[in-house]
Chains A and B, each alone.
Chain A
Amino acid sequence: MNHTGGSEIEQLIQLLGRLPGLGPRSARRAVLHLIKRKDALMIPLASALQRAVEAVTICEQCGNVDTNSPCAICTDPRRQQNMMLIVVEDVSDLWALERAGVGPVRYHVLGGVLSPLDGVGPEDLAIDALIARAGEFAEIVLALNATVEGQTTAHYITDRIGGLDIKITRLAHGVPVGGELDYLDEGTLSQALKARTVLQNP
């Protein structure tokens, strides 16, 4: 039987191996690295994890993760003056938009998209919560993935919010920055052509 140094270390390897991007081999390397740098890395990591376990919560308004609920984004006075709400599928999308510096906007995290194959229906997503707060905003931007499931969800939300007097928009689909036409798929090219913008009128 293989021996890797005690049940605590085995358990640590198993747990780390469940993380995205890590398998058993890379988890073993990570654990060895942590053990070698116990004071500089392992102890601070353990206490950081403990603090995160105690403090991290889901924002009751938008579904973001933060140490407070409502989160820092929802309570930011600059953002509260802005009447734009961006709807995203997941917290990682919210972080991506924040990294892009989209401005002082507020968000709503759906927690997924409609997916019959995975058994995700409207009741599994934060759509009712979105409808409940939609009236506070002048514009709702549906920043969902340009996939069949993402856009079905976008249309479904539009139907559900349809009765309210709110502008609903979605992100443009087309050529990405740095994209070369020759390498783009036909679908993206056709969407880009349909959504072309005018540079000059006669």
Chain B
Amino acid sequence: MDKFTSHTGIGVPLRRSNVDTDQIIPAVYLKRVTRSGFEDGLFAAWRNDPDFVLNNPAYAAGSVLVAGPDFGTGSSREHAVWALQNYGFRAVISPRFADIFRGNSGKSGLVAAQVDEKVVQRIWAVLEENPGATVTVDLESQTVRAGEGVDAVEDSFDIDPYTRWRLLEGLDDIGITLGHDADIAAYEAERPRWKPVTQRA
């Protein structure tokens, strides 16, 4: 996984709450067996609407999505994270993320930055007044920044410290856990014998 320290890119104001993963990528797009190519399904239903934000050329090359609360609810599909990444997003800012989505983001290297709802409102205002303006998500200082002058927004965001550390270091979770193999083996040796198995030796 690549290290993530700070990213500055065009901000996309998505004025919606409860953006579930069926909206991020509908089920019919989930049939690939690879991790790439899911950008075609990103917000597929909404992209048919000419007024949808990503259909505005000023936002089309966006890489920081700024959404309302409860982003990523619903299905556990990690394809939602891949679709955002395949499209070009590096970070999502929202006042509240669904747990599984947040977890999936952390594993795949998409930063899910949780900020106060008022901060989202202010960033939306900046991005809508200046389409194509950039937003910075700085993982090192844990801050988001947007806009200039009196409208400038700068605030800290929440992300769990362990995920932040892994993203900053670009570390693969499985490698870390395999380093604890002795602990796992010790635990396995103590498991009760009546625990079910799916196949017997």
B partners with A: no
